[in-house]
């Protein structure tokens, strides 16, 4: 490249300016089909067409990607780095096409080739590099950062196998490996030049009072980039995923030559295992050493990359906070504090206290749960074995933290009971700590970090979660999106508060009818897919009542299925009554080792088997549980739902984001005062929300009452009848004892207060049915829900992160 070359001569156009005509798009696609895929239109399979199409769309993403990257360098902008062990991005083709303004032209050109977009797109695997809410939030935030013109990188791991696939055998969950990289991933740009060694284990040596760490082994982190384009195609950021590569010295050629092939490759295989599988547990850890090593692998590679990029343009590391903000998504990357301190001290000769101050100013920590089993604690022994230098740094930080607490008799410690508390570590090394809903943040301050909070008033802030309206409305629900655009004009996609303009239309019969038609279309789309994919036929004329999310006792799928049984029993007692036909939809995976969650899945499937085959009730009640719930299923299911079940035990769900997606698509919520439900209800209006259940405070009181479960059961004949039916083997005729353990828990402990909340839930479900029998009323409520959900756009959340935590400006 000659010195006089001006990079600005490269295409500086944004997507909107360079929107192709159908003829241009068609030509570009044919070129890719021929030269990238190596096929002619006559020979091309659906896979080939998808590859050609994806490469064509991707080309349009590259221009804004280049220009955003270049502007960030030229203007020396502060960048945000979002470190997350999970990115649940789902499919990218349609998402990128929408953001680049290419969806219509793409659909049209495919039709000219005799192809339907849905058919072509259905082959794209879901990038399921996450478990649930935390990973999906990271994906929404990446998209919103790009939309808001916030210069940012997402950093994660390129798991070869994402979240396991789920299917059912005799109602039981069976897990099989997921294989999203089995075929080419067209969104992946391999960057072999961006590779960093990450060390593990080994020894510490003292050298002139300084610690020198000699790791026992090193693994290379090699970068794979995906452009993430914002809505309107004005800006694009990078999702950089690290793949583990054994460094050459790990392969023992002598051994290999001596014929010991397996032993020669063993260290190599071990190295590769770092990016092999996503941990399918989102509450408990297994395989501790591997998990800790994965977390360090992600963190170290990312922090090294961040410093390399910073030092390419600056030389004063103390100014890092002016140009770099690093966000830790939960405690998983919480080793970032000690790692940044280590690099500053050991490799750049910064003194320890200054390094701590610098790291703390750069770092932020988002807490996503209060569940003790998900707040990571690593044993000191394991830490010493894997990360001896980091343990030493944490010990110093611990000493400093204790000193800060003065004469406190029982100071909070970063290391206690021979364990490192990653939550406390993340707090002390961050300048801001945020919870993910107003209630959750209150509990984070009062229950989880009261001492930290007192020592650092103002450090804790709340940023209520949000979801991207591009994927969760425009992409997922094209008929509703079109109705909204026809009614209030375009632009709401990136200015979601504008949905308020729909409010007056709640009183307009024509609009309500149109809304009803769009809901019906969404139902048909979902049921069409369900029939084709799973052979499940559903009636269109029914209340679609959905609970889709990870299986967990606190989320109380059990409450839902127990009520379903009660409902079935009532219909059977009085089949001629005026019942509202209902379809109960469940979806979600249980952690493979979570016995109770798997038993609940089995119960749901067992109940489905009996209820769906009951000729007396079939037309009034169905229970469906399509297997392998994920982002792509959610895109079809959520728009079809009438009722959204957000029924966790109060105080236990940090926020929830599914609750937001449903309400935004015009489902009404039946829910407790938990997580973001509280704020959703405030926004949509209490009269447009079916509230039930104990409050967080009452939950605490109830749990303290001896024998509360038995007392609640004794007060509910309905629930006793349900448990009786289960105990008699009504749903497990071949094994009457299958649910003994579950019933025992219900009678004797019931930590999640299923029995305590049952009667009130039953009352609220009665209100739901009454309300649904009055379509005009229901539609009015649903429309008001949509109109008032603007606040829950992830664009709003990101704006708050930018101003309250990252101190970064939009480049747009
Ligand atoms: C989840 C929480 O359970 C949800 O309430 C919350 O909405 C999301 O995070 C996003 O903030 N969460 C998760 O999916 N995995 C964890 N390990 C911890 C929290």
Give me the pLDDT at residue 774, please: 98
Q: Is 78 one of the catalytic residues? A: no
DSSP 667: P
Q: Is the pLDDT of residue 385 over 60?
A: yes
Place domain 469-792 in its CATH homologous superfamily. Glycogen Phosphorylase B; (3.40.50.2000)
Q: Please check whether the two domains, 76-91+126-464+798-806 and 469-792, share a CATH topology.
A: yes
Could you identify the atom of ligand 1 that is nearest to the CA of residue 436? 11
For residue 537, report the phi and psi dihedrals to the nearest 5 degrees: -100, 135
Task: Give mean pLDDT, residues 661-688.
Answer: 98
Here the ipTM equals 0.99
Q: Is the pLDDT of residue 264 over 80?
A: no
Please give the mean pLDDT across all residues of the chain: 95
Radius of gyration, CA atoms only, the chain: 27
Burial status of residue 21 (CB atoms within 10 A of its CB: 0-12, 13-18, 19 or more):
exposed
8 Å CB contact between 337 and 360: yes
Strand partners, 198: 219
Q: Given pLDDT bands bounded at 50, 70 and 90, which one contains residue 140?
A: very high
Q: Which of 266-275, 293-302, 621-630 has the lowest mean pLDDT?
A: 266-275
Q: Is the pLDDT of residue 4 over 50?
A: no
Give me the pLDDT at residue 284, please: 67
Choose among 234, 466, 326, 312: nearest CA to 808. 326
Burial status of residue 437 (CB atoms within 10 A of its CB: 0-12, 13-18, 19 or more):
buried
Tokens of 20: 């192709």
Give me the pLDDT at residue 272, please: 83
Strands (E), 554-678: 582-587, 621-624, 643-646, 668-671
Give me the pLDDT at residue 280, please: 76
3 state DSSP class of 458: coil
Chain mean position to CA 333? 16
DSSP state string for 497-521 = GGGGGGGGGGG-HHHHHHHHHHHHH
8 Å CB contact between 82 and 19: no
Q: Is the pLDDT of residue 266 over 90?
A: no
524 Cβ contact list (under 8 Å, min separation 6)? 540
Q: Is the pLDDT of residue 11 over 60?
A: no
Give me the pLDDT at residue 12, please: 42
Could you identify the atom of ligand 1 that is nearest to the CA of residue 136? 10
Give me the pLDDT at residue 285, please: 63
Q: pLDDT, tens digit, for every residue of 576-600?
A: 999 999 999 999 999 999 999 999 9
Q: Which of 657, 669, 696, 745 is catalytic?
A: 657
Give me the pLDDT at residue 17, please: 58
Give me the pLDDT at residue 374, please: 85
Q: Is 584 one of the catalytic residues? A: no
Task: Give mean pLDDT, residues 778-792.
Answer: 98
How much of the chain, in percent, has pLDDT values that exceed 70? 97
Q: pLDDT, tens digit, for every residue of 39-79?
A: 999 999 999 999 999 999 999 999 999 999 999 999 999 99
What is the Å distance from ligand 1's center to 760 Cα?
26
Nearest CA owner, ligand 1 atom 12: 134
Residue 484 CA to residue 480 CA, distance in Å, equals: 6
For ligand 1, mutation pick of 86, 133, 282, 438 (most atoms within 8 Å of CB) = 133
Question: Domains of the chain: which residue ranges?
Answer: 16-75+115-124, 76-91+126-464+798-806, 469-792
Give me the pLDDT at residue 250, please: 66
What is the Å distance from ligand 1's center to 223 Cα?
27
Task: Give mean pLDDT, residues 444-462.
Answer: 98
Strand partners, 778: none
Give me the pLDDT at residue 290, please: 93
Q: Is the pLDDT of residue 252 over 90?
A: no
Q: Is the pLDDT of residue 777 over 90?
A: yes
Q: Does residue 286 or residue 426 have the better pLDDT? A: 426
Q: Is the pLDDT of residue 7 over 60?
A: no
Q: pLDDT, tens digit, for every residue of 489-528?
A: 999 999 999 999 999 999 999 999 999 999 999 999 999 9
Q: Given pLDDT bands bounded at 50, 70 and 90, which one contains residue 9?
A: very low
Q: pLDDT, tens digit, for every residue of 151-166?
A: 999 999 999 999 999 9
Buried b / exposed e along 90-110 (16+ C-beta atoms within 10 A): bbbbbbbbbbbbbbebbbebb
What is the Å distance from ligand 1's center to 93 Cα?
26
Residue 531 CA to residue 749 CA, distance in Å, equals: 40
Give me the pLDDT at residue 2, please: 36
The residue written with tokens 């939809």 in the block is 585
Q: pLDDT, tens digit, for every residue of 306-346?
A: 999 999 999 999 999 999 999 999 999 999 999 999 999 99
Tokens of 163: 């979240």
CATH of domain 76-91+126-464+798-806: 3.40.50.2000
Q: Which of 661, 683, 780, 788 is catalytic?
A: 661
Residues with CB under 6 A from ligand 1: 131-134, 137, 282, 330, 368-369, 374, 436, 465, 653-657, 675
Q: Is the pLDDT of residue 553 over 70?
A: yes
Q: Is 595 one of the catalytic residues? A: no
What is the Å distance from ligand 1's center to 369 Cα?
6
Give me the pLDDT at residue 282, please: 67
DSSP H or E stretch at residue 57? helix 46-74
How much of the chain, in percent, has pLDDT values that exceed 90? 91
Give me the pLDDT at residue 270, please: 74
Give me the pLDDT at residue 13, please: 44
Give me the pLDDT at residue 596, please: 97
């Amino acid at each position: 490249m000659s010195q006089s070359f001006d990079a600005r001569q490269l295409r500086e156009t944004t997507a909107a300016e360079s929107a192709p005509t159908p003829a241009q798009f068609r030509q570009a696609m044919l070129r890719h089909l021929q030269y990238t895929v190596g096929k002619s239109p006559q020979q091309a399979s659906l896979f080939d067409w998808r590859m050609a199409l994806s490469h064509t769309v991707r080309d349009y993403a590259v221009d804004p990607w280049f220009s955003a990257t270049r502007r960030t360098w030229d203007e020396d902008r502060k960048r945000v780095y979002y470190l997350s062990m999970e990115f649940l991005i789902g499919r990218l083709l349609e998402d990128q096409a929408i953001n680049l303004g290419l969806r219509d032209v793409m659909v049209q050109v495919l039709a000219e080739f005799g192809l339907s977009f849905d058919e072509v797109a259905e082959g794209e695997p879901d990038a399921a590099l996450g478990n649930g809410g935390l990973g999906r939030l990271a994906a929404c935030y990446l998209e919103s950062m790009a939309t808001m013109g916030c210069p940012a990188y997402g950093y994660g791991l390129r798991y070869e196998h994402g979240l396991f696939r789920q299917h059912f055998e005799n109602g039981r969950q069976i897990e099989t490996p997921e294989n999203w990289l089995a075929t080419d991933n067209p969104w992946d740009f391999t960057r072999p030049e961006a590779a960093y060694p990450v060390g593990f284990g080994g020894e510490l040596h003292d050298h002139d009072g300084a610690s020198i760490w000699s790791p026992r082994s090193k693994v290379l982190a090699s970068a794979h980039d995906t452009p993430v384009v914002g809505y309107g195609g004005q800006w694009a950021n990078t999702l950089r995923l690290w793949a583990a590569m054994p460094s050459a010295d790990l392969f023992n050629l002598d051994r290999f030559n001596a014929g010991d092939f397996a032993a020669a490759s063993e260290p190599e295989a071990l190295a590769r295992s770092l990016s092999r599988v996503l941990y399918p547990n989102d509450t408990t850890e297994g395989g501790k050493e591997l998990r800790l090593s994965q977390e360090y692998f992600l963190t170290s590679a990312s922090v090294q990359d961040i410093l390399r990029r910073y030092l390419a343009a600056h030389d004063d590391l103390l100014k890092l906070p002016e140009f770099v903000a690093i966000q830790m998504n939960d405690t998983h990357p919480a080793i970032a504090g000690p790692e940044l301190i280590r690099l500053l001290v050991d490799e750049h000769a910064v003194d320890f206290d200054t390094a701590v101050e610098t790291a703390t100013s750069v770092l932020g920590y988002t807490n996503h749960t209060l569940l003790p089993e998900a707040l990571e604690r690593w044993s000191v022994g394991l830490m010493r074995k894997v990360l001896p230098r980091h343990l030493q740094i944490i010990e110093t930080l611990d000493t400093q933290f204790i000193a800060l607490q003065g004469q406190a008799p029982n100071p909070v410690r970063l290391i206690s009971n021979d364990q490192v508390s990653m939550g406390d570590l993340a707090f002390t090394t961050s300048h801001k700590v945020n919870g993910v809903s107003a209630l959750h943040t209150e509990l984070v301050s009062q229950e989880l970090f009261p001492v930290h909070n007192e020592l650092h008033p103002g450090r804790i802030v709340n940023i209520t979660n949000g979801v991207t309206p591009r994927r969760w409305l425009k992409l997922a629900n094209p008929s509703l999106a079109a109705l909204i655009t026809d009614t209030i004009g375009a632009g709401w996609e990136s200015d979601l508060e504008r949905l308020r303009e729909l409010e007056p239309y709640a009183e307009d019969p024509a609009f309500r009818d149109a809304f009803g038609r769009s809901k019906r279309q969404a139902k048909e789309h979902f049921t069409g897919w369900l029939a084709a994919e799973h052979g499940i036929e559903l009636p269109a004329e029914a209340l679609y009542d959905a609970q889709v999310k990870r299986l967990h006792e606190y989320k109380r799928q059990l409450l839902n299925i127990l009520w379903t049984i009660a409902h079935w029993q009532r219909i059977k007692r009085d089949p001629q009554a005026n019942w509202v036909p209902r379809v109960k939809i469940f979806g979600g995976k249980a952690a493979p080792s979570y016995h109770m969650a798997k038993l609940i899945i089995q119960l749901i499937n067992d109940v489905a088997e009996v209820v769906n085959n009951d000729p007396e009730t079939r037309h009034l009640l169905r229970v469906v549980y399509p297997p392998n719930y994920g982002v792509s299923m959610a895109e079809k299911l959520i728009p079809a739902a009438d009722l959204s079940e957000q029924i966790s035990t109060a105080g236990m769900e940090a926020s929830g984001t599914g609750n937001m997606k449903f309400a935004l698509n015009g489902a009404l919520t039946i829910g407790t005062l938990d997580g973001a439900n509280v704020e959703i209800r405030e926004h949509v209006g209490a009269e447009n929300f079916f509230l039930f259940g104990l409050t967080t405070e009452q939950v605490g009181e109830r749990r303290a009452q001896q024998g509360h479960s038995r007392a609640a059961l004794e007060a509910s004949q309905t629930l006793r009848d349900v448990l009786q039916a289960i105990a008699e083997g009504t749903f497990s005729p071949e094994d009457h004892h299958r649910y003994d353990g579950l019933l025992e828990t219900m009678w004797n402990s019931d930590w999640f207060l299923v029995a305590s909340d049952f009667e009130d839930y039953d009352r609220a479900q009665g209100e739901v049915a009454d309300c649904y029998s009055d379509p005009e009323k229901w539609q009015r409520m649903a429309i008001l829900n949509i109109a008032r959900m603007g606040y829950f756009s992830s664009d709003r959340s990101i704006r708050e992160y930018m101003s309250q935590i990252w101190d970064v400006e939009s480049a747009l």
